[in-house]
Amino acid sequence: MANRVSFCQSSLSSKNKKPEKNRENKELSEETLRLLKILEKENWEIKNFLVRSYKALPVSPESKKKFYDYFISHSAFSVATTANPATSIITELLYDGEKLNLSSPIDEYFLLSKAGRSIKERLKVVKEELPKVIEEYRQKRKDRKVLIGNLGSGPGRDVIEVLAAHYSNTSDVRAIHIDKDEFALERGKLMAQVKKVGHLIEFIKGNFLKYNPSKKFDIVLLIGILCSLDFETCVVILKKVKKILKKDGCLIASNVSKKMFEEDPFTYHLMRLGKWKMVFKDEQELKEIFRKAGYEVKRYFTDSYGFHIMCVGTPRSYF
Ligand SMILES: C[S@@+](CC[C@H](N)C(=O)[O-])C[C@H]1O[C@@H](n2cnc3c(N)ncnc32)[C@H](O)[C@@H]1O
């Protein structure tokens, strides 16, 4: 409790109310209070808009317009997410934030917020867990060859760094990165070359839902793809993925957890203002998506904040 300060001392019960209404009871993190303090000095109207909209109080179209003008002219995150909420530019900025020019209080906020830091923690835990799954499949395969499909890879930093750390001296473990964003793939190619694993990765521009490979994957990664999608859409996607996964293959898919919304609602408020929508799911919901799509859930793991759940499953029924 030491580093969190009460936002508004309301004693209203939080039961059966919309999330916005509950916010009166929420405490603001140190990072949020710092952002509001900076904005109060720099631009009082922007601070006022943020506080009022967070508390679901009425805001005028003029103040909303001023906020958006400020938002897109003062923050790389905001420009990227308003242009394309699914862009890997956001995840890349969060992974590699120290390279950001932090003259923007909003960008600094996104980087330092718990939700922002959890993205980097997700990358860390995926990089720890993926080699374990790769080794499991290397043991299973007579020829020790493993093919990874990184779907909606962005540049594919996770797989690039795992291959560079563990498999640069063998050609047994290879990957195909598929994304519709050509710029992200171009960055991925350069990252892979710099890390000396370019020869192990193929980069394909396209929609992974329409991908028809000559060889099926041993392992498929779907990281940061399901988060904005509803339950039934996730089921449809996982069913399609099953068709490009070997019968005994392994799917690792992530989703943002409800804990993120509960513990860092102000960051989500800023994200929503930037049209960055999430469908938070708990572990049971993610497991249910796997089951409904015809997978057996083997296990799951989370990042250190518990803000991202990574479910690991294998096809149960093949069609
Ligand atoms: C939030 S980023 C995540 C990138 C990466 N997986 C990571 O964890 O860092 C989502 C990426 O998925 C890509 N994407 C989403 N749906 C796609 C689809 N159907 N086919 C190809 N790429 C897709 C977007 O272009 C974007 O690069």
Query: From the first residue on, what is the mean pLDDT of each consecutive set of 10 residues in the chain (319 residues)?
Result: 33 37 68 96 95 97 96 91 90 84 86 96 98 98 97 98 97 97 97 98 98 94 98 98 97 98 96 93 98 97 98 84
Element (H, E) at 218: strand 217-222
pLDDT for the residue 26: 64
- Residue 32 has φ and ψ, to the nearest 5°, of -65, -45
Q: Could you tell me the residue ranges of all domains in the chain?
A: 27-116, 117-315
Distance 208 CA to ligand 1 centre (A): 9
pLDDT for the residue 13: 32
Residue 144 in contact with ligand 1 by CB distance below 6 A: no
- How far is 173 from 193, CA to CA, in rounded Å? 16
Architecture per CATH, 117-315: 3-Layer(aba) Sandwich (3.40)
Ligand 1 pocket mutation pick from 94, 121, 127, 179 by most atoms within 8 angstroms of CB: 179
- How far is 40 from 4, CA to CA, in rounded Å? 19
Which segments of 223-316 are extended strands (E)? 245-256, 295-302, 308-315
- How far is 28 from 48, CA to CA, in rounded Å? 15
Strands 173-179 and 201-205, by their bridges, are parallel
Helix, strand, coil percentages (3-state) for the chain, rounded to 5, are 50, 20, 30
Would you give the distance in Å from CA 36 to the centre of its chain? Answer: 25
Residue 72 in contact with ligand 1 by CB distance below 6 A: no
Which residue has a Cα nearest atom 13 of ligand 1? 152
pLDDT for the residue 138: 97
Residue 155 in contact with ligand 1 by CB distance below 6 A: no
Residue 46 in contact with ligand 1 by CB distance below 6 A: no
Which residue has a Cα nearest atom 4 of ligand 1? 154
Atom of ligand 1 at shortest range from CA of 157: 9
Residue 91 in contact with ligand 1 by CB distance below 6 A: yes
Ligand 1 pocket mutation pick from 180, 211, 256 by most atoms within 8 angstroms of CB: 180
- Dihedral sign, CA of 7, 8, 13, 16? negative
Closest by CA to 43, choosing from 24, 23, 82, 71, is 71
Distance 277 CA to ligand 1 centre (A): 15
- How far is 233 from 319, CA to CA, in rounded Å? 17
Atom of ligand 1 at shortest range from CA of 126: 8
Residue 86 in contact with ligand 1 by CB distance below 6 A: yes
Residue 125 in contact with ligand 1 by CB distance below 6 A: no
Strands 217-222 and 295-302, by their bridges, are unpaired
Distance 223 CA to ligand 1 centre (A): 8
pLDDT for the residue 195: 98
Per-residue tokens: 123? 């990358």
- How far is 254 from 136, CA to CA, in rounded Å? 20
- How far is 186 from 102, CA to CA, in rounded Å? 25
Which residue has a Cα nearest atom 17 of ligand 1? 152
Distance 288 CA to ligand 1 centre (A): 22
